[in-house]
Amino acid sequence: MLRNLAFAALFVAAPALAKDLVVEAGPKAQERLQSALLDARPGDTVRIGAGRFELTDGLSLDVNGVTVRGAGPGSTVLSFKGQLGAGEGLLVTSDDVVLRDFAVEDSKGDGIKSKGADRIVYKNVRVEWTGGPKATNGAYGVYPVESEDVLIDGVTVIGASDAGIYVGQSSRIIVRNSVAKYNVAGIEIENSGYAEVHGNQVSHNTGGILVFDLPALPRRGAGRVAVWGNSVVDNDTPNFAPKGNIVASVPTGTGVLIMAQDMVQVGNNMLSGNGTANIMVVAYRQPFDDKGYDPIPHDIYISVNKHGRAGFAPAMPGGPLLAAAMGGAIPPILWDGTGGSEVRLVVNDNVPVLGLGLALGASLETARPAEVKLSGPIAAPLAPIALPPAMEAAAR
Amino acid sequence: MKALFGAAALFAAALLGRPVGVNDAAITADGYPAHLSDYAFFTDLASRAPAQRLFRYDLETPLFSDYAEKERYLYLPAGTRARYDPDKALDLPIGAALIKTFGYRVDGAFKPLETRVLLHRAGGWTPIPYVWNAAGTDADIRRAGTRIPVTFTDPAGERHAISYAVPNQNQCKDCHGLAGQVTPIGIKARYLNHGGQLEKMLAAGMLDRLPVDAPRVARWDDHAAPLDGRARAWLEINCAHCHNPQGAASNSGLFLDLARTDPEQRGLFKRPTAAGRGAGTRDFDIVPGDPDASILLYRLQSTDPGIAMPELGRATVHKEGVALVRAWIAGMPKSGAKR
């Protein structure tokens, strides 16, 4: 008990001793910046000055409770153009970390990865591949994985060859007020649960917002994902992902894509200019051995979204023929029909829904496209995600 | 402070003409001694002559690090011994140290580049990298890592000029992290059990026991040994420190430890998770019978930092290791192209 008290006192006293470790641009930036990330103690801030930091290797942080803060994403630029090693620009493996006000450019692999890093805040950060969308760009922009409590707020990701903002195998997640453009996938919530994606601008990706549950991963998605109040507009960049990845199968012009995940609510979004569909709901179609995996989505509620033009260039196999047969465009909401009524898909948007009537594992050629009526009672909204107050404070 | 005290004690011992032992305080005290010499692991640094209770060892199948040669030592404090474990790393006491010097041969002589120490302190294992000076008389701490231009000739006679990477202290944990704790990797019975090494440790009183059925891995380049054992040993030592359920690549679902039996977890017809462009244009980690369709091989053959595996410590392709894994995958029965 006494020891606990002493420990508590130490903990409370820590912020008073918190210090700034200041790193300015200039020669030996790699070593000075990495040294600061190693020397920081809990409560400290690694303050990165304005300017370009030319880096040759990935940076990493493994100290709890550290803030890494730049002078703004237009001013403090960590450039990995000359990167020779490591799989990402910045790797965070500790808890209670705040990353804010800087940019990561042109990393060879992922931009910023945080793994097993609970209560992490990404605020006002930019990750960009400056040459535009290219298959040689790194995979993920910001990439928290295997974490509890994730806040991504005011982040911009441009040019990721997989997903711009990717949250995987995590829970209690908020992605808000962020911009994802010219990525293959704009925002992806994968094998995760208890997530809110709202107030984001998602444009010119191949696919805008993806909510996936995939087999053969250590952690399954728990569902309960709310996608609301986003602008998902003009996602029209041809898919430039390497073929083997799951996102390589996302058709160009996809707005919101829900695959195999349960309890997803899509509401109050502005959806327009998505040539394949504004919203798609599908089962996982690949063969799998994972016995506990359910490839069919359940409890999907779509309501009160604003739909602009969509379905005018459906990029899935047979899409152009289908569009021609339907007078030039297919309906803005597309459901593969797999699982039938078991899916419990409720659509209350004022637009038609195209059902494909596909059996599980059947090829797209066997589709029996037909308009389907799916309106029904509106579900009670998912409980809002409440992150620890310290995280919200750090994001202000 | 304690390091200073340790240095003073060493100096006093030298003056008195006593045999100089390792500076135990430098291992166990908090902090980061500035020089490799502070530990007194070597009685003469220029020749790297080991102090007492340093046990030189090597691994039957070692991690590939840009064809660097490695001198490995285990240090155990007086009165202690390692505890045998059939599966995990030997259980080493507080105060133990693992010392690994990397270097290349220049005109036939081994020239050290860096020495990584792994110190067993009360709070856990602490990794610290040291980089040798040009004269080869001592090595200085480089917690933030560095790069060193290196030229060398590989065993096939090919010349390489590379930017050799000394890892930063956190990157040590990328490989040595197991369930969030830094842990030794190579010092496992199955990697040490050759050339009488474990017997020597036992005889020297540095190991508590040695069962007759202690496991051993295949030597990766022993062409007389079964291909499966060689390839899996090579994959384990090079990959499984990350690719296991408690390692840095836990989220990948690809697990390459030797004990793993589930075919999909081992990569067979396993789709990538977050491989990004590391997948190339391939669909599965391993396609039995088809190495050129296997992501695993694609990543082993690359030196691009966004593609190459392992992510750290490799600026060259391990041609001989790639050939081994290629032959292993090629030799797997094709499973009716079921996908």
For the cut 80, the answer to whether the pLDDT of residue B74 exceeds it is: yes
Average pLDDT over residues B238-242: 96
Average pLDDT over residues B202-229: 96
CA distance B21 to chain A (A): 31
pLDDT > 90 fraction of chain B, expressed in percent and rounded: 84
Q: Do B338 and A287 touch (CB under 8 A)?
A: yes
Asked whether B272 and A245 are in contact (CB, 8 A), the reply is yes
- Residue B17: pLDDT band (50, 70, 90) is low
For the cut 80, the answer to whether the pLDDT of residue B339 exceeds it is: no
Q: The sheet that has B124-132: what strands, in order across it?
A: B54-57, B69-75, B97-106, B109-121, B124-132, B139-141
Angle between helices A29-39 and B169-176 (to 10 degrees): 70
Chain B residues touching A286 at Cβ < 8 A: 271, 339
Please name the residue that has the structure tokens 């982040």. Answer: A155
CA distance B2 to chain A (A): 20
Nearest CA in chain B to A163: B276
CA distance B131 to chain A (A): 14
Asked whether A81 and A54 are in contact (CB, 8 A), the reply is yes
Alpha-carbon distance of A299 to A344, in angstroms, equals: 5
Q: What is the pLDDT of residue A8?
A: 46
The helices-and-strands tally (H runs, E runs) of chain B is 8, 12
Q: Do B168 and A34 touch (CB under 8 A)?
A: yes
A67-88 pLDDT, tens per residue? 999 999 999 999 999 998 888 9
> Could you say which residues from 326 to 365 on chain A have a Cβ atom under 8 Å away from some Cβ of chain B?
none
Copy the structure tokens of residue A67.
Answer: 């803030």
DSSP state letter for A357: -
A83 touches chain B (CB under 8 A): yes
Phi, psi of A176, deg, nearest 5: -145, 160
A110 touches chain B (CB under 8 A): yes
Does residue B89 sit in helix, strand or coil?
A: strand
Q: Which of B143, B253, B295 sits opposite A218 (nearest CB)?
A: B253
Q: What is the pLDDT of residue A249?
A: 86
Alpha-carbon distance of B255 to A349, in angstroms, equals: 44
Copy the structure tokens of residue A203.
Answer: 């444009």
- Residue B181: pLDDT band (50, 70, 90) is very high
CA distance B143 to chain A (A): 7
Least confident segment among A11-25, A107-121, B52-66, B281-295: A11-25
- Residue A5: pLDDT band (50, 70, 90) is very low
B323 backbone φψ class: left, alpha, beta (φ>0; ψ -120 to 50): alpha
- What count of other Cβ atoms lies within 10 Å of the Cβ of residue A360? 12
A224-282 pLDDT, tens per residue? 999 999 999 999 999 998 776 778 889 999 999 999 999 999 999 999 999 999 999 99
Task: Output the CA–CA distances (angstroms, integers) from residue B271 to A8, A290, A364, B240, B282, in the order listed.
Answer: 46, 12, 21, 18, 9
A137 touches chain B (CB under 8 A): yes
Establish whether this prediction's ipTM goes over 0.95.
Answer: no
Interface probe for A, chosen from B273, B294, B309 (most Cβ of A below 10 Å), is: B273
Alpha-carbon distance of B71 to B114, in angstroms, equals: 11
A94 touches chain B (CB under 8 A): no
Closest CA to A265 of A196, A338, A360: A196
Q: Do B250 and A146 touch (CB under 8 A)?
A: yes
Average pLDDT over residues A106-114: 96
Alpha-carbon distance of A245 to A395, in angstroms, equals: 33
Q: Do A139 and B272 touch (CB under 8 A)?
A: no
Chain A residues touching B269 at Cβ < 8 A: 289
Find the angle CA(A130)-CA(A132)-CA(A133) to the nearest 5 degrees: 130
A120-130 pLDDT, tens per residue? 999 999 999 99
Q: Do A243 and B277 touch (CB under 8 A)?
A: no
